Amino acid sequence: MFIFSISGRALAFKVRTIRKLFLFFFGFVLLAALTSCLPPPKYQDPLADLNTTPTSVRAFDDMRLGLLFSGNVQLSRDFILKNRKAMDIGFLTNTAAMNDLDVDYVEKNLQKILSRSFGEVIKVDSLEQANFMNLDVVMLFDMQIDLGATSGAQTSVDLKGSFLDWDRRVLADIAGHGVGVVPFPANSFGYTEAAGRALKALNDELTTSRKLTTAFEDINEPVVVVTAVPAPVAVKGERHALVMGNSAYQNAPLKNPVNDARDVGKALRRLGFNVIMVNNARLREMEQAMDRFYASLQKGGVGLFYYAGHGMQVGGRNYLIPVDATIRSESDVRYECLDAGRILGKMEDAGNALNIVILDACRNNPFARSFRSAQRGLARMDAPTGSIVAYSTAPGSVAADGSGRNGVYTKYLLQYLMQPGLDISDVFFYTRKGVVQETGGEQVPWESSSLVDRFYFSE
């Protein structure tokens, strides 16, 4: 009887304990549910007024800016992503907080701000790349953030842009600081609020900094010429073109190069070019077409070579890949492919007035896995006097084949080739701008030019 009594008390104690735990847990869940049901405040976009500024108003409209991100930008992005991941906890996920932590918010709005002041904004990976692309100036962008953790705490965002010359000297700095407050209940970090204020402050300095304006005036200060310089004349004469497009590769077929070549050839014929067209060509067919092209160039005038298809660089030289190429190692390349430098040399030997080389040949190298030291894209080739070499993307980068009929680069090239009154430099400038905008800066065309006279495809 005594033993039974003790067991009954123990059982009663357990029941009371379980009841308390149940009530505590029920109260906790109820509180969480009530809190999560509260709608987030209707935040105002700090950049709303800024984004309505007319895009035609540019302070440095004639300048091309390279945008270079510091290592802190990636650290900040990783920090935001880790916090977003921490908020993703299934059915209790704080959606408002995750929406507030937009990892691309600063970068997207920074691009808008800079595009209002500069003629062109191109994201670059290094000062060397910006120099290759002949940009006017580079801005090194830095971002540092601190997120508040509890209601009433502050989230801060600090932004800084340092404009550099080619000797890595700082010409001028602009900065922006923004603060946001974590609301109650803490259903966001106030990050968008803080970042928006920091971006607005950065924009204010960009548009009002006298030091920055003075620095750019010094960069663009004209050289005083004491002797008369004759104005460049437009190149005239017969027009000859060799157009190649290779798509039907056995190992890595491409969708658009033949379409690109046909469309470019058609456009060039309308512009008065005598066009030699070769598609899905073997090495021997490419070489024969090159010999015919060289013979036509000796008549003088303007020569244009266009190629779309697979291309690669080996040992600092660029090679165009025929559809019948059998490449098992790097040593096979020089025997199985057409050296692009050979084409440029032939055009130079012809001695005609102007030569144009356009290479939309930077798709992924399908043979890279068999190479000792695979390198992406094409290598830089210097243009001889009176010529221009245009690449669909920057050295060492890869171009998109495109989702439509044409590759991204050729799509814009076709658009501007046919526009009357555009100098050849303008054609490639607007082509580059279109590609950069469509690819979000992932593909940046460039040119190597030694032109001494103007040329208009369509006058």
Is the confidence at residue 359, as pLDDT, over 60? yes
Query: Is residue 1 included in any domain, yes or no?
Result: no
Q: Give the domain CATH number at 208.
A: 3.40.50
Is the confidence at residue 22, as pLDDT, over 80? no
Poorest-confidence range of 30-34, 271-275, 294-298, 365-369?
30-34
Query: Is residue 16 included in any domain, yes or no?
Result: no
Is the confidence at residue 51, as pLDDT, over 70? no
- Rounded CA gap, 123 and 422, in Å? 25
Tell me the pLDDT tens digit for each residue of 235-274: 788 999 999 999 998 878 888 899 999 999 999 999 999 9
Query: Is residue 277 included in any domain, yes or no?
Result: yes
pLDDT attached to residue 288:
94
pLDDT attached to residue 40:
43
Question: What is the number of residues in the chain?
Answer: 459
pLDDT attached to residue 174:
94
pLDDT attached to residue 441:
86
Highest mean pLDDT among 154-163, 201-210, 355-364, 370-379 belongs to 154-163
Q: What are phi and psi of 132, to 5 degrees?
A: -60, -35
> Which of 219, 249, 284 corresponds to the end of one domain?
219
Query: Is residue 33 included in any domain, yes or no?
Result: no
Tell me the pLDDT tens digit for each residue of 299-319: 888 999 999 998 888 888 889
Confidence of residue 330 (pLDDT cuts 50, 70, 90): confident
Is the confidence at residue 166, as pLDDT, over 90? no
* Mean per-residue pLDDT over the chain, rounded: 80
Residues 6+ apart with CB under 8 A from 232: 452, 453, 454
Q: Are residues 164 and 293 in the same domain?
A: no
Residues 6+ apart with CB under 8 A from 346: 290, 293, 294, 297
pLDDT attached to residue 377:
64
Is the confidence at residue 458, as pLDDT, over 90? no
Q: Are residues 213 and 247 in the same domain?
A: no
pLDDT attached to residue 262:
94
Q: Are residues 202 and 102 in the same domain?
A: yes
pLDDT attached to residue 1:
38
- Residue 112 has a CB neighbour count (10 Å cut-off) of 16
Tell me the pLDDT tens digit for each residue of 99-118: 888 999 999 999 999 988 88
pLDDT attached to residue 274:
94
Task: Indicate the residue type of 304.
Answer: L
How is residue 236 written in tokens? 């005239």
Q: Are residues 243 and 153 in the same domain?
A: no
Confidence of residue 49 (pLDDT cuts 50, 70, 90): very low
Query: Which residue would you say has higher pLDDT here, 36 or 153?
Result: 153
3-state secondary structure of 201: helix
Is the confidence at residue 34, as pLDDT, over 80? no
Query: What total number of domains does the chain contain?
Result: 2
Domain that holds residue 423: 239-449
Is the confidence at residue 90, as pLDDT, over 70? no
Poorest-confidence range of 23-27, 148-152, 176-180?
23-27
Q: Are residues 328 and 385 in the same domain?
A: yes
> Which of 219, 254, 270 corresponds to the end of one domain?
219
Query: Which residue would you say has higher pLDDT here, 53 or 26?
Result: 26
Per-residue pLDDT, averaged over 129-151, amounts to 85
Q: Are residues 440 and 336 in the same domain?
A: yes
pLDDT attached to residue 376:
60
How is residue 395 written in tokens? 């050295």
Q: Give the domain CATH number at 392.
A: 3.40.50.1460
Q: Are residues 271 and 419 in the same domain?
A: yes
Q: Are residues 352 and 408 in the same domain?
A: yes
Is the confidence at residue 10, as pLDDT, over 70? no
Q: Are residues 180 and 266 in the same domain?
A: no
Poorest-confidence range of 80-89, 337-346, 362-371, 391-400?
362-371
Confidence of residue 173 (pLDDT cuts 50, 70, 90): very high
> Which of 186, 219, 252 corresponds to the end of one domain?
219
Contact of 143 with 149, CB cutoff 8 Å: no
Residue position matching structure tokens 């929406």? 99
Query: Is residue 199 included in any domain, yes or no?
Result: yes
How is residue 133 written in tokens? 């692309």
Q: Are residues 270 and 324 in the same domain?
A: yes
User: How many Cα atoms are found within 13 Å in the side-chain-facing hemisphere of 341?
Assistant: 13
List, as one string, the DSSP characters of 389-418.
EEESS-TT------SSSS-HHHHHHHHHHT
pLDDT attached to residue 169:
82
Q: Are residues 243 and 205 in the same domain?
A: no
pTM for the whole structure: 0.54
Run of H or E including 70:
none
Query: Is residue 88 included in any domain, yes or no?
Result: yes
Per-residue pLDDT, averaged over 410-427, amounts to 92
- Rounded CA gap, 376 and 365, in Å? 7
Q: Are residues 189 and 281 in the same domain?
A: no
Query: Is residue 288 included in any domain, yes or no?
Result: yes
- What residue spans of 190-332 are helical by DSSP H? 191-208, 210-219, 257-270, 283-297
